[in-house]
Structure 1
Amino acid sequence: MSEVMDYKSRLSDPASRKFETFSYLPAMNAADIRKQVEYLVSKGWNPAIEHTEPEHLMDSYWYMWKLPMFGETDIDRILGEAEACHKANPNNHVRLVGYDNFAQSQGAAMVIYRGKTV
């Protein structure tokens, strides 16, 4: 049987906390974020930007940054909204969500800007 890897994510150690898709990987750079947005658009999913304070990271509710961008296919516009959210809330975690309107669920959700740990 294969060995199970233990990712040292502990509540007592804020720097080790893991959350959302890709949180076990290094933080995404601009090119990585762009690829994820391109993927969401290629799947026909509706992008949305959400953010929350680091102390509320594990809560189910995150603040929505404007309305979801229904039918938006301009990658630069989506990235611009994500950047605007990050600039307006520099200490918050910012999440990119792709809503699949056929399955009526989230197709993808990932933290693209990590806030300060508490």
Structure 2
Amino acid sequence: MTMQDYPSRLSNPNSRKLGTFSYLPQMTPEQIRKQIEYIVSKGWNPAIEHTEPDFASSNYWYMWKLPMFGESDVDAILAEIEECKSANPGHHVRLVGYDNIKQTQGANMLVHRAEAS
């Protein structure tokens, strides 16, 4: 098997890869739900972040509200993702699962990729 090259360029924000899942096709709503179910099953705290496509490679993304400490309702998390997308048109949106035991991110994935302007 030959390794595939993914041509990412700073000059083309739509070509940039933003984490492991970004090398795969866009997740379906069912796949996103499964990822949220996994985050909740691990007891991790979900958080939603967003940013403009031109700045997605930056370390700083805007936090959407506070992390959803202790939230286990998958539909509530999905609703917050949709609210973030509506309030920030043209932004990428990612979901983070914070592991409060290990004090790190247990999961981090792009759940909405906006087109760069």
Pairwise TM-score range, normalised by the shorter structure:
over 0.9
Residue 99 of structure 2: aligned partner: 100
Please give the TM-score of this superposition, normalised by the length of structure 1.
0.92
Question: How many angstroms does 1:18 deviate by?
Answer: 1.0
Q: Which amino acid aligns with 2:106?
A: G
Any unmatched runs of 5+ in structure 1? Answer: none
Residue 69 of structure 2: aligned partner: 70
The answer to whether residue 29 in structure 2 is matched with residue 25 in structure 1 is: no
Are 1:47 and 1:68, in contact at CA under 8 Å, matched by a contact in 2?
Answer: yes
Any unmatched runs of 5+ in structure 2? Answer: none
Q: Secondary structure at the match of 1:49?
A: strand
Residue 90 of structure 1: aligned partner: 89
- State the alpha-carbon separation in 2 of the partners of residues 107 and 32 from structure 1: 17
Q: CA RMSD in A?
A: 1.3
Q: Which amino acid aligns with 2:36?
A: V
- State the alpha-carbon separation in 2 of the partners of residues 66 and 12 from structure 1: 31
Q: Which amino acid aligns with 1:25?
A: L
Q: Secondary structure at the match of 2:82?
A: helix
Q: Which amino acid aligns with 1:39?
A: Y
Question: How many angstroms does 1:13 deviate by?
Answer: 3.3
Residue 15 of structure 2: aligned partner: 16
Are 2:13 and 2:54, in contact at CA under 8 Å, matched by a contact in 1?
Answer: no
Question: How many angstroms does 1:10 deviate by?
Answer: 2.2
Please give the TM-score of this superposition, normalised by the length of structure 2.
0.93
Give the share of equivalent positions with the same residue, in percent. Answer: 63
Question: How many angstroms does 1:34 deviate by?
Answer: 0.5
- State the alpha-carbon separation in 1 of the partners of residues 88 and 20 from structure 2: 21
